[in-house]
Structure 1
Amino acid sequence: MDNLRLTTENIYPHLLQAIEESSSIYFLTSFIQKSGAALLADPLRKAAARGADIKICTGDYLYITSPDALELLSSIDGVDLRLYRSGNRGFHPKAYLFRKEDEGLMIIGSANLSESALKSGVEWNLSVNKDVDPLVFEQALEEYMKVFHHEKTVEVHPETIKGYRRDYEEYHRTYPEMPEEESELSASDGRLVETVITPHEIQREALRSLDATMEEGYDRAMVVMATGLGKTYMSAFFADQMKFGKILFIAHREEILRQAEATFLGVNSSWRTGFFNGSRKERDAEVLFASIHTLSMLHHLSSFRPDEFDLIIVDEFHHAAAKSYRRVIGHFHPRFLLGMTATPDRLDGGDIYVLCDNNLAFQMDFVQAIERKFLVPFRYQGIYDDIDYSQIRYADGRYNREQLDQAYIQESMAKKIHQKWMEFRQSRTLVFCSSVRQAQFLSDYFNQQGNKTVALHAGTKNRIEAVRALREGRIEAIFTVDLFNEGVDIPPVDTLLFVRPTESVSVFIQQLGRGLRLAEGKSHCQVIDLIGNYRNLEVKLKLFGELNRKNGKTEFAPSALPDICEFELDTQAIDFIARYHEQMPLRKRRLMNSYHDVKQKLGRRPEYLELHLHGWEDVRGYKQEWGSFPEFLLDVEEELSDKERSIIMTYKDLIRDVERTAMSRSYKMVLLKCMLERGPAKWAHPITARDVAPFFYQYLADAPYRKQKDLTTQTLKGGYREKAVSQLIQTMPMNKWAGSSKGIFGKEGDAFYVEGYQSIHSVELHRFISEICEYRLHAYFERGTGNS
């Protein structure tokens, strides 16, 4: 083809040819109509069948995208479809990117995915061959991945389609006015670079722990260090001291990669460094700093050998539950994998502990760092928030932005916030808002009262100058949304104002860390926060202490804080918390809501362990309220087949016993796991301790964290000896379980079995028991790693 071609009508045959010839197919359009999806469905289906990497991202701006189009495209196996939740932000891209081996093509212009745009409409589209400018082509791929994996995009599956269809129909029924455009800020002050060049006390402790964990045989670990303690320097010292060969450092933002390179060169200036991102592919570097967006592309990732790197460091490891990170981590087999984060919060979307073999090598959270005087103390002031969040739609882990804006963008709300800020503030304030519109509204209001503030967003000019002005005290506050969550710090900031519900505990901890940096003349950080009936209030408060029921009232005790920190609530907030359990939904309803949130996120019925990892309620509540997790499912409308319902009712006692049997060690569930390995038809049949022994020992020995916790008895420490291991299994899980299960499990001679095993062959029962077994094993070993 020509290197450059302008097409002013009927781009369809060119798209069709590119789809047929390409191994990577990436679409980014502001909307998709059913007619356009129908035109391309068969070609995409054929491309997926031959193994092409297909990604499609579209937006919900003005609800033009057809839910029927989403349904059609999501039904194609092998198509990765995501929806950009635009809120009030304009979303207008039209780009089609293709790659085949070393060849590439991008088509950028005016055509969305509709039949008229692709075939008959007047549309200007420019087709550009990769050879015209390979760097620009790679930049386009990089920018595409940033949008595709942006926190505002959600995976399209039946649950998200159901929610989108409801919003789509409501929008088109009511015809609201066109929303104002909104942009989120992702820039940073590139001048902010750590300057420490030798390990401080806490970094030395972390290095000793990593050295010990390698001695114990682990090949991966996670280090949790509060914001401000120098995780990146610690990782550079680790890489240098252990004399690793080729090193890969992975992050999701360019500024983090640039700062990391400067840090590593500060530790060892002889390292040959390079970048792997949209514009640079310096793969021969000794220390390679890679963008996850670029590295996770299949054609890039597959170009690296699995054993190419001796050490892999993943920064901001709390993101590692995402598919892009899992793909990269699963591809490589380094000598050692190090994950670093300040917020290992599994409530925000995944089990990152599994990715490092449940090995938490070192932890120093913000409370411990304050006690050690590596961070300043804080004074927390909770302000009552009378917004009724139960009336605001909640989906995909966040509240509806338009409805939040309607509640927040009120002069009465702004007046209350300003008064409280004036009462408690110090000299320099960061204000965290829920949307750019809210940030601008509040900044304008504060300025009208005579204060000097700015709102930072993508359209703000001289952002670096605004940060400098706050640091130097020429302005009093910066209003933003998520600008300062990661990678950027202004140490002189001494006041944090939160005017948003806490949707993510991880994000709250990151934002709290922005005010805890040590700085000259700074004695403490003042925190001003809203206390209301939003979903994560209880989880957030548990960072600081305990909620206790006493004489019919709920009281909060800040028992988790150091003495040098202060925690105060205004009178209304105290009254609200006293009535907290009366005002919040009943526990059963909260557990049900948590279940539906996880189901919507996954697009299917969650397994028990997935609910533990992704839900915001303690999953032990399901057995406490319903008797067992499967019995809870009986209460979920249209969730179970008639056969599944019958199985649960028939084997309720067996299910409950597996859920509830006491576990001082993992042995019962390891025994059960071995039985379940035999499949649905035979799992309940008799099994001898000698049959179980090899599996039992190997399961505990395979993972260092299991070995460390449960392969510690004298019988098991000396290596595998069939007779000794068999005797332990007979004495511990088999005899104890058969003796305590009231006829559910039996033992005759040396054989252990489920009573009535002759009639147990149900696939459904096997699945329910397996889910409980996997959850209980995970929860047991999780407690042993300090991250329960």
Structure 2
Amino acid sequence: MSKVHLITEALIEEITKAIDKADSIYILTSFVMKSGVDILKKPLQRAVERDAEIKVCTGDYLFVTQPEALQNLTNISEKIEVRLYKSNGKSFHPKAYLFQYGDDDGSLIIGSSNMSRSAYTHGVEWNLMMNSETSIDTYEKAVREFMKLFLHEQTVPINDETIGEYKKLYDQYHRENPNLIRTWTKAEETELMIPKTQDTKTVEIVKETQENYGPISPRHAQIEALEALEIVKEEGYEKAMCVMATGLGKTYLAGFFAQDYNRILFIAHTEEILKQAKRSFQHIMPERIYGIYNGTTKEHRADTVFASIFTLANERHLNKFKENSFDLIIIDEFHHAAAKSYQRVLDYFQPDFLLGITATPDRMDGKDVYGICDGNVAYQLHFIEAIQRQWLAPFHYIGVYDETDYSQITWLGSRYDEEELLRAQLREDMAQKIFESWEKHKQTRTLGFCSSIKQANFLANYFKSKGVRATSLHSQGSEIPRAEAIKMIENDQLEIIFTVDLFNEGTDIPSLDTLLFVRPTESLTIFTQQIGRGLRLADGKKHCTIIDLIGNYRNADNKLSLLDTRTADERKKSADAIPQVPENCFADFDLDVINLINELRKKRQPRKEQLRHAYLDLKMELGRRPSYLELHLYGDSNAVEYYQEFKSYIGFLYWAEELDKHEEEVFKANEAWLKEVERTGMSKSYKMIVLSYMLSRGLDGWLSPVTPEETASYFHKYLTAKEYRKRIDFSDKQGKRLWDYDKNKVAKLIADMPMSKWSGSSKGLLTFEGGVFRPAFDVEPGHNETLYEWTKEICEYRLHRYFERKSN
């Protein structure tokens, strides 16, 4: 076969040949049809049988992809990973097939063929096929770009839950567009993809020259974080997370911590962060050997490897390393770590210690990333506290009223419809208001955050027409190169840069003293990152001015909590929704903004519905009902709120109609017991450890009577298995440590503390008489298995949450 050749017919022959010899198979297709799955079924089954890696990414644009096709694709084998790109109305047209044969050989097909029978057999299609040796750079870039799209935040895993949700949207769309569905039914493979003109928003990172901070030694928050990490290690933890505001030196913290380890893996999601981290580590430990592992460079034998997650998540590259290759693994920008790519890598390696560093946990309560670290946050310093300590610059926040009615703009699940938003934004009167607000409050150097390239260009041109030295920077080419524009604003040759998603992570321009927000806040994480761009300390800089246009968009009131020194409970109890900022900061709002925020607060969705939505989001991600502990670790809402509202997690499931008829019967008959396990006080962990022992006896024995002596060995082993459990909870009434096992002493402790006290407070559900502890309620035989599993879920959750809370 020639190195590059054109395929205009019978594409399935080339695809089948490639599948039959490939170790890795990546398919990217705009849509999937049942006929296409049928024709690929046997080749894919053969690939599964020889343990080939198979990934398929498709899209929902115009709802051409058939739900049945997705179901059939997943039915081939659970080993095939399928994800659906939620286009939110944005055109989605890729067609690519990537095959890897061993370590050094591969092929790539790119052209017009989606996954359908006609595209593979008799349709008029053009596809170009090339060997990796023709251009290894092109091939590796294709692999990287596939992985980025496959693991993009807008893709969802295909499972029974997500297929069900997609089918509802699919059916609704085709009911509203009956002519389209008749056309597709008649000629299944006809592609009716109507392009929609829009800006392409590619997130890029700009990294400037590292400032010289003098001697390389820990400072400020780094000293505190290193001390906290040492305590964590002494307590027996093997994982930890550090949350440090932008500007406090997270990468240098990681480098200082890494000095005690021999082999280190540093993982990040951008090339710029990898290169920056390598330079930082070299400043601290110049004697080490450093290597980059990404799409083009494979220096995997170095002492410290800086790896791109998009390359490392590829199974072929992952298998180049042994599971115990690294003593220490560091995940930078750890709020990305909940993504499947990171989880795959973390599941593979077995380091002595895992350290996650981030300025912004992905969700505001951080449950997803906290869960990856077993709930252990060693150190946490957000930008508000860093400002109070004078480690970051204070801010002057100006809330300017934006009279745009965002309720009339379509919300697409994660963002506003771009065309509708642009119609509201690209107006002369709006530009004039933005200019006047900026002119009134600005200092010397401004970064303006826009929602689209068109808006950035529009505002840059408008400001220039007013005599302002302005430019726009974005992913589709700019009038001034990025590095030059950054130097120009530092040297006072530019007054303002309008940008789109280029300055969210990894960017250092300490002299910036004004931020201008002319976009609705859709992501609180990104808003936090962008605020951090202006808070770095610099000579002559007294504060950062934040000029923010606030309208009735989603998150308008939530975003202000990021500036607030009050706790969440204090904010809930207060009638005032306007934030209380640190003493060295200042906040001023237009009267219309104050009225708007108070009105939005009154219309907040009831908490029960918020909890339902958070639960359903997680259920969709997992493809099944989450356990109580999973809800706590990965859910959007705080798991304790489910207890507060419904008295038990199972009570919530009953209210949300998530139980089948049998489960409803079990819940109604045993509600008192489930509430008891949820509500019983835990000044110590002892009650749940006793319950854990009872459950360890299995389905048939968990409700049998138990004695303190019988429980003692399990109780002692549980509390001494982890250093932090031993330190937190294992002492008798006199404070004497019981770390050396003495059966009689441990049994006495169990009798005095959990068994006697719990029997007395359980309202007759438990008894402790004659040295025997037993449940005093009856369970119908048909209910036992379900009740056992539910009790186990609650017990595991309560033990985890107890030690998590005590450790923090």
TM-score by length of 2: 0.88
Pick closer, same or farther for the CA change 1:83–1:464 going to 2, 3 Å. Answer: farther
Matched with 1:644 is: 663
Matched with 1:773 is: 795
Give runs of aligned pairs for residues 303-318 of structure 1, distance below 5 A: 303-318=320-335
Q: What amino acid sits opposite 1:668 in the alignment?
A: K
Matched with 2:648 is: 628
Q: Is the 8 A contact 1:226 1:369 kept in 2?
A: yes
Matched with 2:187 is: none
CA distance in structure 2 between the aligned counterparts of 1:194 and 1:54, rounded to whole angstroms: 44
Return the offset for 1:417. Answer: 4.5
Pick closer, same or farther for the CA change 1:52–1:632 going to 2, 3 Å. Answer: same
- Give yes or no for the alignment of 1:689 onto 2:708: yes
Q: Is the 8 A contact 1:32 1:113 kept in 2?
A: yes
Matched with 2:749 is: 728
Aligned-partner SS, 1:687: coil
Give runs of aligned pairs for residues 352-501 of structure 1, distance below 5 A: 352-384=369-401, 398-402=414-418, 405=421, 408-409=424-425, 411=427, 417-440=434-457, 442-443=459-460, 451-461=468-478, 462-501=481-520
Q: Is the 8 A contact 1:405 1:438 kept in 2?
A: no
Q: Is the 8 A contact 2:30 2:92 kept in 1?
A: yes
Matched with 2:37 is: 37
Matched with 2:186 is: none
Q: 1:238 aligns with which of 240, 257, 278?
A: 257
CA distance in structure 2 between the aligned counterparts of 1:608 and 1:651, rounded to whole angstroms: 18
CA distance in structure 2 between the aligned counterparts of 1:437 and 1:534, rounded to whole angstroms: 22
CA distance in structure 2 between the aligned counterparts of 1:543 and 1:777, rounded to whole angstroms: 33
Q: 1:115 aligns with which of 97, 100, 117?
A: 117
Pick closer, same or farther for the CA change 1:458–1:122 going to 2, 3 Å. Answer: same
Q: Is the 8 A contact 1:392 1:403 kept in 2?
A: no
Return the offset for 1:705. Answer: 3.5
Aligned-partner SS, 1:756: coil
Q: Is the 8 A contact 2:267 2:331 kept in 1?
A: yes
Q: What amino acid sits opposite 2:627 in the alignment?
A: E
CA distance in structure 2 between the aligned counterparts of 1:167 and 1:703, rounded to whole angstroms: 48
Pick closer, same or farther for the CA change 1:161–1:361 going to 2, 3 Å. Answer: same
- Give yes or no for the alignment of 1:6 onto 2:6: yes
Q: Is the 8 A contact 2:738 2:746 kept in 1?
A: no
Give runs of aligned pairs for residues 665-676 of structure 1, distance below 5 A: 665-676=684-695
Q: Is the 8 A contact 1:24 1:99 kept in 2?
A: yes
CA distance in structure 1 between the aligned counterparts of 2:573 and 2:725, rounded to whole angstroms: 42
Q: Is the 8 A contact 1:136 1:279 kept in 2?
A: no
Pick closer, same or farther for the CA change 1:331–1:549 going to 2, 3 Å. Answer: closer
Q: 1:541 aligns with which of 532, 547, 561?
A: 561
Q: What amino acid sits opposite 2:483 in the alignment?
A: I
CA distance in structure 2 between the aligned counterparts of 1:97 and 1:41, rounded to whole angstroms: 17
Return the offset for 1:406. Answer: 6.5
Q: Is the 8 A contact 1:359 1:705 kept in 2?
A: no
Give runs of aligned pairs for residues 31-70 of structure 1, distance below 5 A: 31-70=31-70
- Give yes or no for the alignment of 1:198 onto 2:200: no
Return the offset for 1:708. Answer: 3.4
**Where does the alignment leave 5 or more consecutive residues of structure 2 unmatched?**
181-192
Q: Is the 8 A contact 1:545 1:557 kept in 2?
A: no
Return the offset for 1:246. Answer: 2.2
Q: What amino acid sits opposite 1:322 in the alignment?
A: A
Aligned-partner SS, 1:352: helix
Return the offset for 1:55. Answer: 0.7
> For 1:108-150, what per-residue CA distance to the aligned partner results, in whole angstroms no more than 9, with x for missing partners?
2332222222111232323333344545433332232122222
CA distance in structure 2 between the aligned counterparts of 1:385 and 1:49, rounded to whole angstroms: 59
Pick closer, same or farther for the CA change 1:612–1:503 going to 2, 3 Å. Answer: farther
Matched with 1:762 is: 784
CA distance in structure 1 between the aligned counterparts of 2:433 and 2:633, rounded to whole angstroms: 38
CA distance in structure 1 between the aligned counterparts of 2:709 and 2:412, rounded to whole angstroms: 51
- Percent identity reads 45
Q: Which moved more, 1:483-492 or 1:414-423?
A: 414-423
Return the offset for 1:26. Answer: 0.7
**Where does the alignment leave 5 or more consecutive residues of structure 1 unmatched?**
none
CA distance in structure 2 between the aligned counterparts of 1:680 and 1:387, rounded to whole angstroms: 60
Q: What amino acid sits opposite 1:424 in the alignment?
A: H
Matched with 2:595 is: 575
Return the offset for 1:238. Answer: 2.8
Q: Is the 8 A contact 2:208 2:508 kept in 1?
A: no
Aligned-partner SS, 1:353: helix
Q: 1:702 aligns with which of 721, 724, 746?
A: 721
- Give yes or no for the alignment of 1:261 onto 2:281: no
Q: Is the 8 A contact 1:27 1:56 kept in 2?
A: yes
Matched with 2:183 is: none
Q: 1:295 aligns with which of 312, 335, 355?
A: 312
Matched with 2:770 is: 749
Give runs of aligned pairs for residues 585-604 of structure 1, distance below 5 A: 585-604=605-624
Return the offset for 1:370. Answer: 1.6
CA distance in structure 1 between the aligned counterparts of 2:626 and 2:407, rounded to whole angstroms: 24
Q: Which moved more, 1:67-76 or 1:345-354?
A: 345-354
Matched with 1:124 is: 126
Matched with 2:188 is: none
CA distance in structure 2 between the aligned counterparts of 1:380 and 1:661, rounded to whole angstroms: 45
Q: Is the 8 A contact 1:311 1:335 kept in 2?
A: yes
Matched with 2:269 is: 252
CA distance in structure 2 between the aligned counterparts of 1:505 and 1:678, rounded to whole angstroms: 46
Indicate the RMSD between aligned Cα atoms, in angstroms.
3.2
TM-score by length of 1: 0.90
Pick closer, same or farther for the CA change 1:728–1:480 going to 2, 3 Å. Answer: farther
Aligned-partner SS, 2:369: coil
CA distance in structure 1 between the aligned counterparts of 2:235 and 2:389, rounded to whole angstroms: 28
CA distance in structure 1 between the aligned counterparts of 2:694 and 2:752, rounded to whole angstroms: 17
Matched with 1:526 is: 545
Pick closer, same or farther for the CA change 1:120–1:749 going to 2, 3 Å. Answer: same
Q: Which moved more, 1:169-178 or 1:606-615?
A: 169-178
Q: How many aligned residue pairs are there?
A: 781
Q: 1:515 aligns with which of 525, 531, 534?
A: 534
- Give yes or no for the alignment of 1:607 onto 2:623: no
> For 1:73-128, what per-residue CA distance to the aligned partner results, in whole angstroms no more than 9, with x for missing partners?
24441221122334565543322112243342322233222222211123232333
CA distance in structure 1 between the aligned counterparts of 2:749 and 2:404, rounded to whole angstroms: 58
Q: What amino acid sits opposite 2:106 in the alignment?
A: G
- Give yes or no for the alignment of 1:228 onto 2:230: no
Give runs of aligned pairs for residues 72-111 of structure 1, distance below 5 A: 72-76=72-76, 77-87=78-88, 90-102=91-103, 103-111=105-113
Q: Is the 8 A contact 2:236 2:724 kept in 1?
A: no
Give runs of aligned pairs for residues 201-216 of structure 1, distance below 5 A: 201-202=219-220, 203-216=222-235
CA distance in structure 1 between the aligned counterparts of 2:209 and 2:701, rounded to whole angstroms: 62
Q: What amino acid sits opposite 1:92 in the alignment?
A: H
Q: Is the 8 A contact 2:91 2:195 kept in 1?
A: no
Pick closer, same or farther for the CA change 1:785–1:486 going to 2, 3 Å. Answer: farther
Q: Is the 8 A contact 2:510 2:537 kept in 1?
A: yes
Return the offset for 1:646. Answer: 0.8
CA distance in structure 1 between the aligned counterparts of 2:47 and 2:405, rounded to whole angstroms: 49
Q: What amino acid sits opposite 1:82 in the alignment?
A: R
Q: What amino acid sits opposite 1:375 in the alignment?
A: L
Pick closer, same or farther for the CA change 1:115–1:261 going to 2, 3 Å. Answer: same
Pick closer, same or farther for the CA change 1:502–1:741 going to 2, 3 Å. Answer: farther
Matched with 1:137 is: 139
Pick closer, same or farther for the CA change 1:328–1:663 going to 2, 3 Å. Answer: same
Matched with 2:16 is: 16
CA distance in structure 2 between the aligned counterparts of 1:263 and 1:366, rounded to whole angstroms: 22
CA distance in structure 1 between the aligned counterparts of 2:310 and 2:98, rounded to whole angstroms: 15
Q: What amino acid sits opposite 1:653 in the alignment?
A: A
> For 1:394-424, what per-residue CA distance to the aligned partner results, in whole angstroms no more than 9, with x for missing partners?
676x245448727853636655555444443
Return the offset for 1:277. Answer: 0.7
- Give yes or no for the alignment of 1:658 onto 2:677: yes
Pick closer, same or farther for the CA change 1:643–1:87 going to 2, 3 Å. Answer: closer
